[in-house]
Structure 1
Amino acid sequence: MADLLKITLVRSYYGRPAKHRKILQGMGLTRMHKTVELVDTPAIRGMVGKVSHLVRVEGQ
């Protein structure tokens, strides 16, 4: 089975660029302190890298 990343939104996306909000929405992070488990792929890693200041990642 592929490795999973637990990603939690820990900072608000209000006042951030629309691109950041779309990335968070694409990952399924729609509200504060919500945690999603996503498969560890290069695409997900890239998305996390763009909003790393807003999220906490576990399971690396």
Structure 2
Amino acid sequence: MMAISEKKIWAKWNKKNPPPKLSAEDTLLWLDGYRQLMFEIWKKNPSLKHSFKKLLLSKN
């Protein structure tokens, strides 16, 4: 089994191969998941608090 870090996936986006379009709901779900991930990282390493402060406070 290959670890994710060893696997390199490169996406080339251009006019012929545009990035996938996300609905507004999917985008909000992705952002919420990203905030949760950053919060988990911050809990493990509180010295990163200043880096994530804006992100954590941006959720309404």
Same fold, judged at TM 0.5 (above): no
Higher strand share: 1
Which protein has greater RCO, CA pairs closer than 8 Å, 6+ apart?
Answer: 1
Max radius of gyration: which structure? 2
Q: With the length of structure 1 as denominator, give the TM-score of the two structures.
A: 0.28
